[in-house]
Structure 1
Amino acid sequence: MFTRTHRTRMLAAAALAAATLTLTACNNGEGVDDEGASTESAATATASTTASPEASGSSKGSTGGAAGSSGGSGSSGSSGSTGSSGTSGSSGATGGSADSASDSSATTVACAKTSTRTTATAVSRPLNHLLLTVTNTGSKNCTLIDYPAVRFGEAQSVPPAFEDSKPQAVVTLAPGESGYASVLLSAADGSGSNGYTAKSLEVYFNAAANTAATPSLPTKGVYVDDSIRVSYWQSTMADALTW
């Protein structure tokens, strides 16, 4: 009995010593290297995961800063572009074109046969009068200077003008506008002499003109005597028929 008990106690002591050795080895890091490595790796992974948002945030911050710089540059670039395009420069060019167009329309030349239409109309009042109408059919302003030099039929001379009919300014016709002059054909009281019937007419716009317009006369012609006179060119029909 004693022997069994003694053996049992020795076995228990041996088991306790083995356990003590195992625990000591555990504390000294022997025989548990794998478990320690796993724990360290896990800790490192956890630290890495924890640091990742900060790194990400830092990266985003850098990107945001870059974006901000880029936006600032874009704003500056836009401003530079606007300054470069130069709205005033465009307006200046347009203004130049407008001035050119204005200068072109303001150009004035003497009225000529090629850029006008001339008519001769017999009127009932005043008696024995013919109304000459010259219309500007060109694209530029033209002027009617002094008074028309008219020649009826085979007449060798041109009639004089009523000096009192001279206007204060030269008559200028814009495209589409008309100027007027009247012709006193014969004396209303029959006091004129050397009368004849004329069926053709030449109208020189002034005494210095080289070419003449040839407006049609009434089919029966017009009676002319040596009382014939013409008015200066006028801006209105009423002014022309005053003489």
Structure 2
Amino acid sequence: MAYTARSRRTTAVLATLSLGILALSACNGDADKDTSAAPSTAASSSAAGSDAGADAPSTAAPGDGGSGSGTGGSSGSGGSTPSSEPGADDGQDGGVGMCETADLGYNVTVASRPVNHALLTATNKSGDACLLPANDLVITIPGLDGASEHMGPAGKDWMLKAGERAYAGILFSRADTAGGKSADKVEIALTASESPTTVPIDDGPVTVNDGQVTSFFGTAEDALTY
């Protein structure tokens, strides 16, 4: 009987020890769960902060090397837009000199209308742009005294690019003036200080009793209006 009582006490002690071990294991397990969960929360917070920083606009000034400077550089790298204003010469005004008589080629043709007129066509053959003196054109008709007078409105000096043409109208005879002389050429100079060049009159000769000339124009129609 003593053996049986001792056995029961031993069994009870062992059961109590087993329950304590289970309880302790359970507590350690909960602590492990809390400890393992903490890094996950911290990592999530770190990731969220990183994403927010990527979406935020850059405050770097152009040239600081920030992401915004690349965009600024791209928008400012375009070439300047060329000017569309009349008379624009791509910024070359400072290097353009006055046209000289020898810079241009000339053609004088009798006009069908108006009567007693001829059309002067001047072409820039120099290969470079030059400023054309609009009001200084000197036309001399052999057989008449002095240079032709100017008629029509005063013009304005303008740039004649290489290969471009300018036009002037020449009146060589008045219908209300009797008589005249025959002429088959004219002498042309852009200014009175230059030596003239002699140009034949296409479809000539013509009868001359007067001499008048317009300023230079950009079209033949304008030149023959006066």
Q: Is 1:126 aligned to 2:111, yes or no?
A: no
Q: Give unpaired runs (5+ residues) of structure 2.
A: 61-65
2:6 partner amino acid:
L
Output one character per residue of 1:90-121: Cα deviation in whole Å (capped at 9) or x when no partner.
65665x82378987536444456798775433
Write out aligned runs for 1:1-243 (5 A).
Answer: 16-28=1-13, 36=18, 40=21, 46-76=26-56, 78-80=58-60, 81=66, 83-85=68-70, 87=72, 94=78, 97-98=80-81, 104-105=89-90, 107-108=92-93, 109=96, 110-111=98-99, 118-134=106-122, 142-150=131-139, 160-167=147-154, 169-170=155-156, 172=158, 179-188=166-175, 189-193=177-181, 195-198=182-185, 203-208=188-193, 217-218=201-202, 221-223=204-206, 225=208, 227-243=210-226
Q: Which moved more, 1:62-71 or 1:96-105?
A: 96-105
Whole-angstrom CA distance in 2 between matches of 1:159 and 1:45: 130
How many residues were matched structurally?
213
Change (3 A) 1:54 1:190: farther
Change (3 A) 1:99 1:161: same
| Contact preservation (8 Å) 1:173, 1:179 | no
Q: Which moved more, 1:115-124 or 1:137-146?
A: 137-146
Change (3 A) 1:207 1:113: closer
How big is the alpha-carbon RMSD for the aligned residues of Structure 1 and Structure 2? 4.7
Whole-angstrom CA distance in 2 between matches of 1:234 and 1:100: 23
Q: Which moved more, 1:61-70 or 1:201-210?
A: 201-210
Identity fraction in percent: 23
Structure whose alpha-carbon radius of gyration is higher: 1
TM-score computed with the length of structure 2 as normaliser: 0.62
Whole-angstrom CA distance in 2 between matches of 1:104 and 1:23: 119
TM-score computed with the length of structure 1 as normaliser: 0.59
| Contact preservation (8 Å) 2:149, 2:213 | yes
Task: Name the structure where helix makes up a greater proportion of residues.
Answer: 1
Whole-angstrom CA distance in 2 between matches of 1:56 and 1:20: 47
Change (3 A) 1:48 1:24: closer
